[in-house]
Structure 1
């Protein structure tokens, strides 16, 4: 019988690059309505020392037939379980928007299982104790689509083609439900180093909400400012990947905890 982590890994993890002895395994978590394939082409643009994995949420792409999850606990628990088999090399997590807090919750669960995420990159989202809430997940389809349009001036065929809405909206609505109902009064401080990617023209996060990520780590916070809107990482893809690589390849592993 296959171990549970292997079965979970096959469902949840898309290994866009795996090598025998990488220095890092970078695991990516998508925004609301997003999927693992958002990160697929990052593999060719990262140094060979960095493996690239992405988490595939249920209810989209090759998991379209599966029911979407509707709460953070279920999503983070399943993703953390799926990563057990990849923890034989140092792990770094990158999450954008919704993915930022999913990555944080996964890191917290892995740490509880004695798997330390060495580096956590959180992009374009407030700290866990600064969540804004909201009711868009309970509203009409058009309100959800309008909110996604608000976050980027780039054309998005998923938003403009009514024939695609049937495929796109269920995952989007459930992702909004997760993020709008999520929050922690105070975050669990991690051993992970946290680097915040803060887009300065993004209406979804302000500077105080970005700096508040310090409460989620025992390590000093590093904040990196970006010129751009919520989806700055599309326009500045290579610069972002260079920043990730520079940080990871310039880091030494975290010290083992004192008994």
Structure 2
């Protein structure tokens, strides 16, 4: 695995002349390693990178960033420092908001993405209000358990709770305080991924992303709950590639 000097991006795979660069934005409490399993299913001519937010893994001792706009600004600056290549952005849950805000900044800089994928999160004008980042550890952990049944055992260990909960709380603050004075439309296509049994995002909310792109979004539905992509990385990646081919007219 190669590394970039910029700590905001983890390179999971990087080739000499990639057909495209897929950059993944993790969920609240998530890290770049969450997307390592995608390497087994992604064509070899596509680079895979993931954002690494402060306060986790190799950035564990760095101060957390509690503002989503600042997260997006750092990620967009890191991407602009890379050599030009067709860019695909994929964000899951909180990462969907980071992907959208990052894309806005890249378009403003003349380095707009080829395609943006938002997974399991409503657009800013349909995000419900919440203040879990202000509530007790027990309330925050209960919300995490409700969304991700598979990772529930992590929170049974007091030492692990103490290690990981600060990053989760900071991310919850970032997404819960995300607010836009006005909606901004992307030039890039936005497609939406949603689990059929996701209790966090409704189909109506997912469809509302159409107000933020000049293209009509497709809604890709998958079996499962909020973290559906853990169990089915291959179908998710196949969907991404099919949608990119649909707009570009050329398979990756």
What TM-score does the superposition give when structure 2 sets the normalisation length?
0.93
CA distance in 2, matches of 1:183, 1:211: 19
Query: How far, CA to CA, are the matches of 1:10 and 1:175 in structure 2?
Result: 20
**Equivalent residue pairs, number:** 248
1:34 is aligned to 2:25: no
What residue is the counterpart of 2:20 in the other structure? 24
Question: Given that residues 158 and 168 in structure 1 are in contact (C-alpha distance below 8 angstroms), is that contact kept between their aligned partners in structure 2?
Answer: no
Q: Show structure 1 runs of 4+ deviating over 6 A.
A: none
**In structure 2, how many angstroms separate the alpha carbons of the residues matched to 1:67 and 1:85?**
23
1:103 pairs with 2:99: yes
The 5 Å alignment of 1:103-252 reads 103-252=99-248
Partner of 1:94: 90
1: CA distance between counterparts of 2:50 and 2:148? 23
String of CA shifts for 1:163-209, please: whole Å, max 9, x gaps.
10111011000000011111225421011111100112111111111
Specify the SS of the correspondent of 2:219: strand
Q: CA–CA distance in 1 between the matches of 2:153 and 2:83? A: 37
1:15 is paired with a residue of what secondary structure?
A: strand
- Cα root mean square deviation, aligned: 1.8
Shift of 1:160: 1.8
Task: Tell whether 2:31 aligns with 1:60.
Answer: no
CA contact (8 A) 2:220 2:239 kept: no
> Separation in 1 of the partners of 2:242 and 2:40?
16
Give 3-state SS (helix, strand or coil) of 2:214's partner: coil
Partners of 2:110 and 2:56 in 1: how far apart? 31
Question: Which sections of structure 2, spanning at least 5 residues, go unmatched?
Answer: none
Task: State the 1:128 CA deviation.
Answer: 1.6
Distance in 1 of aligned mates of 2:188 and 2:62: 32
